Amino acid sequence: EVQVVESGGGLVQPGGSLRLSCAISGFIFNNYAVTWVRQAPEKGLEWVLSISNTDVTYYGESVKGRFTISRDKSKNTLHLQMNILRVEDTALYYCVLGGIGIHGLDPWGQGTLVAVSS
């Protein structure tokens, strides 16, 4: 069974940095796309960024230039480096296998909460 587990969330001040991790087990994820989706309080789902099966990266406009995704193939882990954090980045961040326009997003992790506040 494939399992997706996020970690690294927490409270950070505006302008600060945070690094999220996504550990995937039960699956050779090197050959598949991985996507991050977030949901701010009382808001809908927002596609944040993704990394393709060939390690091509795509970023949403709201995070471009501030967030960076990378894949550690030896550890089946994905890292999301978030810099210059803003209050509006406050959300529950989900890591999920797949590409949204291809085979859909599944399975999802339980999410990790990022709160940006002074």
Partner 1 sequence: QSVLTQPPSMSAAPGQKVTISCSGSSSNIGSNYVSWYQKLPETAPKLLIYENNKRPSGIPDRFSGSKSATSATLGITGLQTGDEADYYCGTWDDSLSAGVFGGGTKLTVL
If the CB atoms of residues 35 and 77 are measured against partner 1, the closer one turns out to be 35
* Residue the block writes with tokens 């999802």: 108
If the CB atoms of residues 30 and 110 are measured against partner 1, the closer one turns out to be 110
Q: Which of 50, 69, 80, 89 binds partner 1 (CB under 8 A)?
A: 50
User: Count of alpha carbons within 13 Å of 84, Cβ hemisphere only?
Assistant: 7
Closest distance between partner 1 and the C-beta of residue 58, in Å?
A: 6
Q: Which of 80, 109, 112, 114 binds partner 1 (CB under 8 A)?
A: 109
- Residue 64: partners with Cβ closer than 8 Å, 6 or more residues away: none
If the CB atoms of residues 37 and 116 are measured against partner 1, the closer one turns out to be 37
Determine contact, residues 76/19, Cβ cutoff 8 Å.
no
- Rounded to whole angstroms, how far apart are CA atoms 24 and 101? 21
- Rounded to whole angstroms, how far apart are CA atoms 21 and 78? 6
3-state secondary structure of 101: coil
Closest distance between partner 1 and the C-beta of residue 97, in Å?
A: 10
Q: Answer yes or no whether residue 101 interacts with partner 1 by CB under 8 A.
A: yes
Given the rule CB under 8 A, which residues bind partner 1? 35, 37, 39, 44-47, 50, 58-61, 94, 96, 99-111
